[in-house]
Structure 1
Amino acid sequence: MSGGNGFVQQAAMLVGAPEPAFRLLLTILAGYPISIFYKFILENKVSNAIKHTYFLSLGLCLYLFNYGYDIYHSLIAVIVTYGICAIFQGKPTMLVKVNFIFNMSYLLIGYYLTESNEYDILWTMPHCVLVLRLIGFGFDVADGRPSESDLSKDQKDNCIKEMPNIVQLMAYSYFPSSFIVGPQFPFNRYKHFINNEFTKYKSYMEAGIKRGSVGVLYLIIRQIGAVYLPDDYFLSSEYSNKSFITQIVQLGLWGKISLYKYISCWLLAEGSLTLLGLSHSPKNGQIGSDTKDDWTACSNVKLVLLETGTRMLHYVQSFNVNTNNWVAAYVYKRLKFLNSRTISYAGALLFLAVWHGFHSGYYMAFALEYTIITFEKQIESFYNTVIKPNKIGRVIENNLFVRGVLIAIMKFYNIVMMGWCLTPFIQLSYNKWMVIYSSSGYWGFYLLGIWTLIHLFYQFLLNPKHKNPLLKDKDQ
């Protein structure tokens, strides 16, 4: 059980980590012996029922190790979801609505009752992972009822035609290597894994160890970075008295260091899933159809794009990948009836903000993400239509030195703007993140505001009716 003055608490004090965070790390690392034992002892020697029991029992033990009797919240969610799917499986629309409302309501009530002004490691953390898993499960059960001609390719791959039993759903929900921090994957992938459909791919050991090792490296960098740039430093007078350039550079580096906290956990979880063989990604998207050893299906971060990207969009594309894929499949694409990609994208971001909780920082961070990505698209359009066709554009495109300087400037922008955008996501409370914005003179808001005015004026000039705004068009 969690709490107490036992070995785990003493070990956490020894390494200088909060006990809940240390327990979380131990839980992620436990995925490795669990994976190795399964691959070499159980995989080809026991029935599927025993496999389900193996993963379920260990998942429950790990949950108890972290959150004790608070496990009842997740048990209620899984059992009620199963009941909803069993009762309404003949009414897909009702199933989706009831299941979505129940799971999101339970999570939000949990946030309301437990949230403080800090980033708390409570039962609500794995529960937010579980909620996506159960909502997705409900969608997949509902998709298994209509004719396949009405479904998209993703829906056809993920739809559940035969309702699993409660033990199978619980084993999927408490899967040891993913229940606490993700990643998300559909029930059908779990079923294919249990049925040994990935066993012909042989490079899982090398790929899993490599990914886990990179996770350890990122964890070390995160811990070292946190010593030099702790969260509280940015609320101090020492930070507010720094020069503007120093402030924005430190904020950007702090943002990257803060991301590494999540990235290290995801890489470690992904490594254990790869050791199981569950993360195989077929070349043509059809499980079991080729023998290409690609182990990215459970990857939650694209490291190369993350580290080399030059735009905020690159962070979005490379960070929390499976959650973003889940939102794209079950929120964004399901909003296509609105006939607007912009509105659907805004709806997806709003869902993500609500899913994270009630802290104002989440809503500000996702609002900034939307605004900054829009800003970048407008800049790109302006460059392609105004600058690129002209002489200066040809110099930029053809001169390697100029292009190198431009890329360096864009990378600098990428780092400092990401730190600005992540500030409310990390500090959460308005009274904290606004202090940091105030210390640096609200520069990000001024940048976005000034560009908005420039863009509006540029659009105004592009309108043929406004070539001469001082004269009124007779035909207007």
Structure 2
Amino acid sequence: MTEYMVPDPNGGYICTFAATLGVPVEAMRLLLTLVAGYPIAAFYRKVLINVSPKALHHIFFALCGAGLCYFNYGFDTYHSLIGIWMTYLLVRLLRGAPRLLLIINFLFHMSYLLLGYYFTASNEYDILWTMPHCILVLRMIGFGFDVTDGLRPIEDLSKDQKETALVELPSLLELTAFAYFPSGFLVGPQFPYRRYRSFINGEFRQYGGSVEAGLKRLAAGVLYLGICQLGLSYLPDAYFLTPAYAEVPFVKRLFFLGFWAKFSLYKYISCWLLTEGALMCIGFTYKGQDENGQPDWSGCSNVKLVLLETGNTMDHYVRSFNVNTNQWVGHYVYKRLKFLNNRTISYAAALGFLAVWHGYHSGYYMAFLMEYLIVSTEKQIERVYTKVVLPKYGEVLKNSRVYTVAYFVALKSYNIIYMGWCLCAFVFLKYERWIVVFKAVNYFGFIYMLVWACIYHGYRFYLRSTAKRSEAQTFSQATDLTATTATEEDKKTQ
């Protein structure tokens, strides 16, 4: 490899190495930063883990994280520093007015992020300072909620809020270290300040197995990264915008799009696995004990691999992908809207927040709209299947091998094909691009949901009409019976 490592006068060894591998230099820096979490973890466990005072730990993590941020984004690191210091200032000044603190803290961070998107957005998914900043925004907004929860009586808090509420405020150094924690600030995962404090206090050190678990996660991350690179080399994004793709037979088009979506998804998954492995190695992710009484180090898992690979529905994808961000939204957005007393509105608001948090591109809004519609459609289909089909034909279907095979093939095909439809807008971002792909596959996703909506609501209308006729018939029979009885009694009286 040494013959390729010739200094590039415009960017040095990293630019040359990135060009040799055929990847953007920003992606190479990102990958090196994720991998850097492992030597940082090794150094901390070997040298600093038992060192006092705790301030040295905070300094170490703050400097490592800020240094890695500067390595990626240079002078633009100041954006994250502004976000951290402004949060600290707001908490100190407005802690006595919790509602005002929540509003101003939320508006400041979301406005700053959206302004950043406005001035940096392009047609691609860019690796700029806005990428780690969107992680920081959720962390700082959640921190504000945790501070205000710490001011409330403990009996008024939910179980989740009791686990994250902050009674004692951290120092500026502690907050900076929390925000810049290596392997956690760049692509996630999200975690509350209470976890960071527990880690610094040594509450997880008595448990073993974190390094072994972390190295397994590292191996999985490398495997998924390799599959992603290989798959996208055969099915690159640009191919789906060409006339050649539109001329492929329809079924082939659907499966090509589905497999492309899987490979594209693996790009995110590999990053999460690499960062999660580093967090495990440093001993940060303790969750409790598993069913066998062994330490469970999956406390910061951002992807559930088994569910992701064996699931058959979009709901399985939702529950297995970007887990910590979904949990954050559930804890700080969805459950906080409980006063609306409407789960549908709360769910829609949570997805709307996620879309805005991602940026201005129409593809984000289309992707989250699709998630809402498809998950709702799947629940309707499952309801009809379990309440109508299984009671009538369950025994027959259960004993049929043909049905079992057909059921598996149908669901797995649906899982692959529809993933392509859902992820298309999210990846291509601009309407002018993702609508080309939608057109190439004949808008099948919209047609499927429209046909099902007609069937489902038509069936419900039929049931309501039948129920009304049955009630009317029962009422009529009851009226006739009453009239007959009254007539007979009149005759007896006469």
Q: Quick check: 85-94 or 447-456, which moved more? A: 85-94
Query: Corresponding residue for 2:335?
Result: 333
- Taking the TM superposition and a 5 Å limit, the aligned residue runs for 1:120-131 are 120-131=126-137
What is the CA deviation profile of residues 114-137 of structure 1, one whole-angstrom value per residue up to 9, with x for unaligned ones? Answer: 111111111000000000000000
Aligned mates of 1:63, 1:56 — CA distance in 2? 11
Could you state the TM-score of these two structures normalised by the residue count of structure 1? 0.95
* Cα contact 1:201–1:291 (8 A) shared by 2: no
1:363 counterpart = 2:362: no
Q: Give distance in 2, aligned partners of 1:253 and 1:56.
A: 40
Q: Please point out which of 169, 176, 194 is paired with 1:163.
A: 169
> Match for residue 449 of structure 2?
448
Match of 1:436 in 2: 437
Moved more, 41-50 or 201-210: 41-50
Q: Match of 2:488?
A: none
CA distance in 2, matches of 1:53, 1:100: 27
The TM-score with structure 2 as length reference comes to 0.92
Report the counterpart of residue 204 of structure 1 in structure 2.
210
> Following the alignment from structure 2 to structure 1, what is the Cα–Cα distance between the partners of residues 336 and 121?
30
Show the counterpart of 1:399.
Answer: 400
Q: Which residue of 2 aligns with 1:99?
A: 105
- 1:390 equivalent in alignment to 2:392: yes
Give me the whole-angstrom Cα distance separating, in 1, the residues matched to 2:456 and 2:102. Answer: 41
Determine the C-alpha separation between the residues in 2 that align with 1:438 and 1:21.
31
Q: CA deviation at 1:343?
A: 0.6
CA-CA distance at 1:346 after TM superposition: 0.4
1:81 aligned to 2:87? yes
What's 1:316 paired with? 318
* Counterpart position of 1:234: 240
Q: 1:372 to 1:458 in 2, by over 3 A?
A: same
**Aligned equivalents of 1:319 and 1:34: distance in 2?**
27
Matches within 5 A, 1:291-310: 292-310=294-312
Structure 1 residue 283 displacement after superposition: 3.9
Aligned equivalent of 2:179: 173
Structure 1 residue 291 displacement after superposition: 6.9
Q: Give the structure with higher Rg (CA).
A: 2
Look up the equivalent residue of 1:227 and give its one-letter code: S
**For residues 181 and 153 of structure 1, what CA distance do their matches in structure 2 show?**
27
Matched AA of 1:356: H
Per-residue deviation at 1:397? 2.6
Residues 67-90 of structure 1 deviation map (CA, whole Å, 9 limit, x = unaligned): 010111111111111111111112
Counterpart-to-counterpart distance in 2, 1:95 and 1:459: 47
Report the Cα offset of residue 394 of structure 1: 2.4
| Shift >6 Å, 4+ stretches | none
Instruction: Report if aligned partners of 1:204, 1:276 keep a CA contact under 8 Å in 2.
Output: yes
One-letter amino acid of the counterpart of residue 420, structure 2: G
Match of 1:352 in 2: 354
1:362 counterpart SS class: helix
1:427 aligned partner: 428
Partner deviation per Cα, 1:2-61 (whole Å, 9 max, x = no partner): x94211111111111100011000000000000010011110123210000001011111
d(CA) in 1 for partners of 2:54, 2:326: 31
Give CA-to-partner distance per residue, 1:407-464, whole Å, 9 cap, x none. 2210110110111011000100101100001011111111100111111101111114
Give the match for residue 53 of structure 1: 59
Equivalent residue letter for 1:449: L
Matched positions, count: 467
Moved more, 458-467 or 258-267: 458-467
TM alignment of 1:271-282, pairs within 5 A: 271-282=277-288
Per the TM alignment, residue 467 of structure 1 is displaced from its structure 2 partner at its CA by 5.7
State how far apart, in whole Å, the 1-side matches of 2:162 and 2:329 are. 17
Amino acid paired to 2:443:
Y
Q: Which residue of 1 aligns with 2:125?
A: 119
Helix, strand or coil at the partner of 1:445: helix
Percent identity, aligned pairs only, is 53
Partner amino acid for 1:32? Answer: Y
Q: Residue deviations 1:187-229, cap 9 Å, x none?
A: 0100000111100111011100001110000000000011000
Sort the Cα spacing of 1:401 and 1:295 in 2 relative to 1 into closer, same or farther, 3 A.
Answer: farther
Q: How does 1:4-153 map to 2 (within 5 A)?
A: 4-153=10-159
Partner of 1:287: none
- Looking at structure 2, the residues matched to 129 and 116 of structure 1 have their Cα atoms a distance apart, in angstroms, of 20
Q: Distance in 2 between matches of 1:323 and 1:337?
A: 22
What do the CA deviations read for 1:308-337 (whole angstroms, capped 9, x no partner)? 000000000000000000000000000101
The aligned residue for residue 276 of structure 2 is 270
CA distance in 2, matches of 1:189, 1:457: 50
1:412 aligns with 413
3-state SS in 2 of match to 1:388:
helix
Q: Which amino acid is 2:395 matched to?
A: R
- Name the counterpart of 2:379: 377
1:399 Cα offset (Å): 2.8
| CA apart distance, 1:468 | 6.5
Q: Does 1:249 align with 2:225?
A: no
